[in-house]
Amino acid sequence: MNSSLQQLQTQISAAVAGWSEEQLSARRGDKWSAGEILEHLLLTYEGTTRALERCLDSGKTLATRPTLRQRLITFALLTTRHMPEGRKSPERALPKGRPVMSVAGQIAPQVGIMDAAMARCENKFGRHTKVLDHPVLGALTVNQWRSFHCIHGKHHLQQLARLHHP
């Protein structure tokens, strides 16, 4: 497994270890609960995995040519390794209300499944090939997808920490 994704997997599991269903479900105002944050992360991992599997099944990448704006945003995100606050999630990654304890248990295995799909795509298409479009960043290589998920995960780990220790 990729060491960065393995570290992310471990950090997410540790961040919510011992949380009760009530703690995972508690909301503060209009902000997501810890369970909703976890579901959002799970949805992004599942979505990336499905899209990578489509690339593998079709034998071709699904990447389109990124715009200049997408290239600049990608460069800024991957260089600073910081995701700005307040960005709205794409509809497909919005929490749907899955049972929080089930979601919490699915995160680590799904990161592993996503990592395996990433490795297969990298082997098939090459390290420098853009394989798939991100809804905001545009076309990314497998390694850029790994970096995105680590940066995105870190962003939400900080939110989980604030929920646990206000």
Q: What is the pLDDT along the chain (166 residues), one digit of tens a residue?
A: 999 999 999 999 999 999 999 999 999 889 999 999 999 999 999 999 999 999 999 999 999 999 999 999 999 999 999 999 888 999 999 999 999 999 999 999 999 999 999 999 999 999 999 999 999 999 999 999 999 999 999 999 999 999 988 6
Q: Does residue 32 lie in a domain region?
A: no
Number of domains in the chain: 1
Alpha carbon distance 144, 129 (integer Å)? 10
Indicate whether 18 belongs to any domain.
no
Side-chain-side CA neighbours of 68 within 13 Å: the count stands at: 0
Say if 38 falls within a structural domain: no
47 found inside a domain: yes
Distance separating alpha carbons of residues 119 and 76, to the nearest angstrom:
25
pLDDT 10s digits, 79-102? 999 999 888 999 999 999 999 999
Give the span between the Cα atoms of 19 and 80, in whole angstroms: 31
Question: Is there a domain that residue 20 lies in?
Answer: no
Looking at the domain assignment, is residue 24 inside a domain? no
The answer to whether residues 137 and 77 touch, using CB atoms and an 8 Å cutoff, is yes
- Name the residue range of residue 138's domain: 3-7+43-85+93-164
Q: Which helix (H) or strand (E) holds 76?
A: helix 68-80
**What is the phi/psi pair of residue 11, to 5°?**
-65, -40
Q: Is residue 30 part of a domain?
A: no
Q: Is residue 138 part of a domain?
A: yes
